[in-house]
Structure 1
Amino acid sequence: MRAIILSDSGLRLIERDVPEPGDGEIRVRVVRSGVNPTDWKRRSAGSAGSVPNMDGAGIVDAVGPGVLSHHVGDRVWVMLAAHTGPFGTAADFSIVPAGHAFPLPEPMSYDAGAALGVPAVTAHRALTVSEVGPRRLSPGALEGRTVLVAGGAGAVGHAAIQLARWSGATVVTTVSSPEKAALATAAGAHHVVDYRRNDAAGEIRAVAPNGVDIVVEVSPARNAELNQAVAANHATIAIYANNGGDTAAFDIRPHMMINARVQFLILYTVGEAALQAAAEDVGAALRDGALPVGEEHGLPLHYFPLERAAEAHDAVERGAVGKVLITVE
């Protein structure tokens, strides 16, 4: 089989034997491999010879001993493949725990399946860590709540807009250009604010006079002042990335006075229960048609063949707007 591996010289395409699934594992014939910022960031930390990429979609090709939940021929989307073993999705075949592969119902495309994983599960976690909010998402779960999504044109931002909208929230998002504003609107945001304007806080407060309940935050250093200005009582600022700087400063007393919660999150250590809850809810949203992809739905798709996987990683590192996918089959 063809596989991209990590090497001292970067990403390299090789031929290798098709791996066999072990106890509790399945083998997926990969059709699409999704590339996330975490994938290029982990290149230097990965083991030489391992296959990168966390997310993907394809067809179950073989099941290991003890697996009763999957069958050969099942269409699935997978998450955290390169985290749970050496066989990520940048290859013809990937080995994943059966518990990290989820149904991809017809007529959902493999593009849509490969765009889930890290972005959608991260977005779900950010929307469910509020002190006074729901632990699970479903239609109506966020009814009456206002969600502010920072960077609504990014992959996590896109998923957060869609999941929050599906769950009944009023969704506000910040962007940095008219082009990104159009994408966030297409994703389903009710209100889009250019954060470079002098009165972004005023625009958000006009939509949410009592403040926003949940902030899905990609850039805590840059947005700390804005978040403070628009946070509601018992607001949660859920931070999943450090774009714009590794150090953020928070004024203690204003946050204390509204009982604000600053919640950090990363999927690698969040725990299996949270991952499974997110995957179940994401699957329900997928079946409801709430997670479409493509430029017309706010998430442009950029395709690279497997042999150009290094270029795909570079595109994500350079900040490509939308979702970068590797076409494997």
Structure 2
Amino acid sequence: MRAVTYREPGPSSVLSLVDLDLPEPGPGEVRVRLLRAGVNPTDWKFRATGKNGPYDEVAPGQDGSGVVDAVGPGVVGFAEGDRVWLVLAQSGRWLGTAAEYTVQPVDRVVHLPVGASYDLGAALGVPAVTAHRALTAGEDVERIAPGTMSGMTVLVAGGAGAVGTAATQLARWAGATVYSTVSSEEKAALAVAAGAHETINYRVADTAAEVQAMCPEGVDLVVEVALAQNVALDVAVLRNRGTIAYYADNGGSEATVPVRDTFAKNLRLQGLLLYTLGADLLEIAIADVNAAVDVGALQVGADFGVPLHHFPLEQTAAAHDAVEQGTIGKVLLAIAEE
């Protein structure tokens, strides 16, 4: 089979197209013939820093979608021909989704709902599960479903990003009012397409004043991508007992927290990372995300705020570069057709 791998950390030039033996699934595993693979910031960051575990060779990629083509001993619930999407495919493993086939334990394989495209399936794992955790990080919401966020207000920082659009779509489905911060008119249009009720261009507007004017009582939750830059803003616009759910360190690796303002409001600062989420929260997130996909509440494509950019497998390096350079929308590897 063809795969793209690297043997040492570094820039995208360390990636090579190679031929590998077809892997066989072991007990509790399935083999998936991949049609699409999602490319996320975590992929190029892992490649650049070598944070992949003790492996001589790594095929990157946490997200993907395709068709089960072999099942290992003891597998129940999956059969050859099943359409699936993957989550955490390369976490603690060397063979991710930048390949024609991958072998995964069954708890990382999810049935793709009828009618959902492989493009959507490959775009779910990192962005949608991260967004789900962000929306459930406070004390108010345990599950994402219609009505679970009725009456709530969410501020999504970076509303045109992959996690931002997923959080917007899920929050709207659950009944929340969503405000998004953006940096351009183009990104504002994408955030609105994803479902944002209002957008604020933080480059030209007083974001705190804009949010406070729209929501004088304070927002319930901030989904934050740049805590170091925005923590003071977030504290200012949150209601008492609100939550900042932050999932990245864009704009700086250290944040200065306004201590008195934070404890005076009984605020919660909740960090989140998909890899350490735990089996219990991961199971809940997968179930809720799949329910949203099943009814069309999670979508990709420009009409839904998520333009798609396809690269063939042999151009995985270019796909990594596109993500690192901040391409707007979702970057996918088009590995095969059904």
> Could you tell me the TM-score, scaled by structure 1's length?
0.98
Q: How does 1:118-267 map to 2 (within 5 A)?
A: 118-131=126-139, 133-267=140-274
Name the CA distance, whole Å, in 1 between partners of 2:163 and 2:56. 28
Does structure 1 residue 27 correspond to structure 2 residue 31?
yes
Task: Tell which deviates more after alignment, 301-310 or 82-91.
Answer: 82-91
CA contact (8 A) 1:58 1:110 kept: yes
Name the CA distance, whole Å, in 2 between partners of 1:155 and 1:127. 15
Q: Name the residue aligned to 1:45.
A: 51
Name the CA distance, whole Å, in 2 between partners of 1:114 and 1:308. 17
Give the partner amino acid of 2:3. A
Q: Name the residue aligned to 2:287.
A: 280
Q: Name the residue aligned to 1:89.
A: 97
Q: Name the residue aligned to 1:77.
A: 85
Encode CA deviations 1:221-263: one digit per residue, 9 max, x unaligned. 1111211210111110001000001111111011111100000
Encode CA deviations 1:295-329: one digit per residue, 9 max, x unaligned. 11100111100000011011111111111000100
Name the CA distance, whole Å, in 2 between partners of 1:146 and 1:225. 18
SS in 2 for 1:209: coil
Give the partner amino acid of 2:271. F
SS in 2 for 1:42: helix
Give the partner amino acid of 2:122. A
Give the partner amino acid of 1:61. D
Name the CA distance, whole Å, in 2 between partners of 1:86 and 1:282. 26
Encode CA deviations 1:79-126: one digit per residue, 9 max, x unaligned. 110114221010000111111111112211100000000000000000
> Could you tell me the TM-score, scaled by structure 2's length?
0.95
Name the CA distance, whole Å, in 2 between partners of 1:230 and 1:62. 51
Name the CA distance, whole Å, in 2 between partners of 1:102 and 1:269. 19
Name the CA distance, whole Å, in 1 between partners of 2:205 and 2:70. 56
Does structure 1 residue 58 correspond to structure 2 residue 62?
no
SS in 1 for 2:15: strand
Name the CA distance, whole Å, in 1 between partners of 2:65 and 2:199. 31
Equivalent residue pairs, number: 328
Runs (4+) off by over 6 Å: none
SS in 1 for 2:133: helix
Q: Give the one of 123, 128, 143 matched to 1:115.
A: 123
Encode CA deviations 1:256-279: one digit per residue, 9 max, x unaligned. 111000000101111011111000
> In percent, how many aligned pairs have the same letter?
56
Encode CA deviations 1:119-178: one digit per residue, 9 max, x unaligned. 0000000010102x1111100000111011000100000100000000000101100000
CA contact (8 A) 1:147 1:171 kept: yes
Name the CA distance, whole Å, in 1 between partners of 2:113 and 2:273. 27
SS in 2 for 1:293: coil
CA contact (8 A) 1:162 1:187 kept: yes
CA contact (8 A) 2:114 2:294 kept: no
SS in 1 for 2:156: strand
Q: Name the residue aligned to 1:297.
A: 304
CA contact (8 A) 1:84 1:97 kept: no
Name the CA distance, whole Å, in 2 between partners of 1:158 and 1:50. 29
Name the CA distance, whole Å, in 2 between partners of 1:211 and 1:268. 31
Q: Name the residue aligned to 2:275.
A: 268
Q: Name the residue aligned to 2:7.
A: 7
Name the CA distance, whole Å, in 2 between partners of 1:327 and 1:103. 20
Q: For structure 1, which runs of at least 5 residues remain unmatched after alignment?
A: none
RMSD between aligned residues: 1.0
Name the CA distance, whole Å, in 2 between partners of 1:223 and 1:178. 20
